[in-house]
Amino acid sequence: MYPTITDFLDRTFGIYIPLPIQTYGFFFALALLTAAYIYYLEYKRKEQEGKLIPFYLEEIEGKAPDFKFVFLNFIFALLIGYKFIDAIINYGEFVENPQEVILSARGNFVGGLFVAILYTAFIYWQKNKAKLPKPKTIYKETFPHQMVGNMFVVVGIAGILGAKIFDIIQPQNIKDFLQNPLNSILSFSGLTFYGGIIGGFAAGVWFIRKYNINLIHSLDSLAPAVAIGYGIGRIGCHVSGDGCWGVVNTAPKPQWLKIVPNWAWSYDFPNNVIHEHLEAPVFPTSFYEMLMMFIIFGILWSLRKKIKIPGLIFAIYLIFSAIERYVIELIRATHRYNIFGLKLSQAQIISIIFFAIGLTMIVMMIFKKQKFYDFGKTVIKPINIPKK
């Protein structure tokens, strides 16, 4: 296992470069960027097909920098410099535990103040240079694909919060949180996928509604993006050994799997990021999920241009992902609830809900297909159009 990118470079190539980048965090960022790119491509395609239309954003051109502008930029630069200078001075500690250094209250005030003054002075000079004798209001035509970056920043933050909250409220984690809340919050291992999906989804819907972007086509664009992003994220889980593994598996590998590496059947995750020593090898479920989500992505990507009913791609994703997660939970080491005599994990409960939503959508499409076509064809009036 490679808890950090430094470990990976050192053990794989014999090159030691102390970097404050955890392997899980690296793949999480890669997953988010890849998902955003897929989402961006789908938005552009739907714009070319006329399914998504531009809107207008109001901007004031040539406005002189005011107190609010200067103050907000100063505070932003102060916080960045406060943490950045401290991280540079104490680089060894930063490499060892970056999230604790970043999220703690410690920092370098003098360094932060120096960075804030330089940055604010530069921004003020740049803004003041572009000011006009009389500022004018312009209405900038903006396409949905141009907002994907902003959207994924919002979705990413909300997704992390949702994943962390859903992880903490699990019975086996509540006690650890109450005993050491700071450690539970700072730890990025054990983030729950469905918590991230729910948190990110809520933020994404808010963002889409804010800019009047067609929701049903946005959901269809989201389906392959989430699938590939989740698959890449699971690579990080597996390579770092973040605890998302299965139950003990000491059974001999079946003969029909002889071409499969032994670690893909049963693995003990040595040197994992959470420093847990496994007494016996377990199912590497994060590796299985990676494979299944890549397959789901391939199916969705191949179908996206062939399916014409708006919302159907998203419904198929909900069903496929629900089945995938429900099945993998059968061999995952996780807490289970007693629901009507059935032992179900938190993820399995949510999987059942997602499956029901996806199936309901498909049934509605069978009987009310035109309704979904109407959702897709609805022309949303652009916002902030200048009055003639």
Q: pLDDT-derived band of residue 196, with 50, 70 and 90 as boundaries?
A: confident
pLDDT tens-place string over residues 367-377 = 888 887 777 76
pLDDT of 153 higher than 70: yes
pLDDT of 378 higher than 70: no
pLDDT tens-place string over residues 90-131 = 998 888 878 777 767 789 999 999 999 999 999 999 999 888
Q: What sign for the dihedral angle of Cα 203, 32, 382, 59?
A: positive
Domain ranges of the chain: 5-54+143-377, 60-139
Find the helix or strand (DSSP H, E) in which 142 lies: strand 136-142
Q: Which residues contact 16 (CB under 8 A, 6 or more apart)?
A: 6, 9, 10
pLDDT tens-place string over residues 234-248 = 999 999 988 889 999
Query: When comparing pLDDT for 162 and 353, which is higher?
Result: 353
pLDDT of 382 higher than 80: no
pLDDT tens-place string over residues 217-230 = 999 999 999 999 99
pLDDT tens-place string over residues 259-271 = 999 999 999 999 8
Q: pLDDT-derived band of residue 190, with 50, 70 and 90 as boundaries?
A: very low
pLDDT at 384: 46
Phi first, then psi: what are they for 378, rounded to 5°? -60, 125
Of 34-38, 210-214, 336-340, which gets the smallest average pLDDT?
336-340
Give me the torsion for CA of 4, 29, 162, 345, rounded to 10°. -60
Query: When comparing pLDDT for 287 and 58, which is higher?
Result: 287
DSSP 312-346: HHHHHHHHHHHHHHHHHHTTB---EEEETTEEEEH
Interior angle at CA 386, CA 382 and CA 388, nearest 5: 120
pLDDT at 165: 75
Return d(Cα 296, Cα 286) in angstroms, integer. Answer: 15
Does residue 188 contact residue 99 with C-beta atoms inside 8 Å?
yes
Of 9-18, 31-40, 332-341, which gets the smallest average pLDDT?
332-341
Q: How far is CA 120 from CA 2, 59, 61, 166, 238, in A?
A: 40, 22, 20, 39, 43
Mean pLDDT, the chain, whole residue set: 86
Q: Which long-range contacts (CB under 8 A, 24 or more apart) does 158-162 make?
A: 158/199, 158/200, 158/202, 158/203, 158/204, 159/196, 159/197, 159/199, 159/200, 159/203, 160/191, 160/196, 160/199, 161/199, 162/195, 162/196, 162/197, 162/198, 162/199, 162/200, 162/202
pLDDT at 184: 54
pLDDT at 388: 46
pTM of the model: 0.84
Q: How many CB atoms lie within 10 A of CB 195?
A: 24
Return d(Cα 354, Cα 219) in angstroms, integer. Answer: 14
Query: Taking residues 133-143, what's their average pLDDT?
Result: 87
pLDDT at 376: 72
Return d(Cα 352, Cα 1) in angstroms, integer. Answer: 33
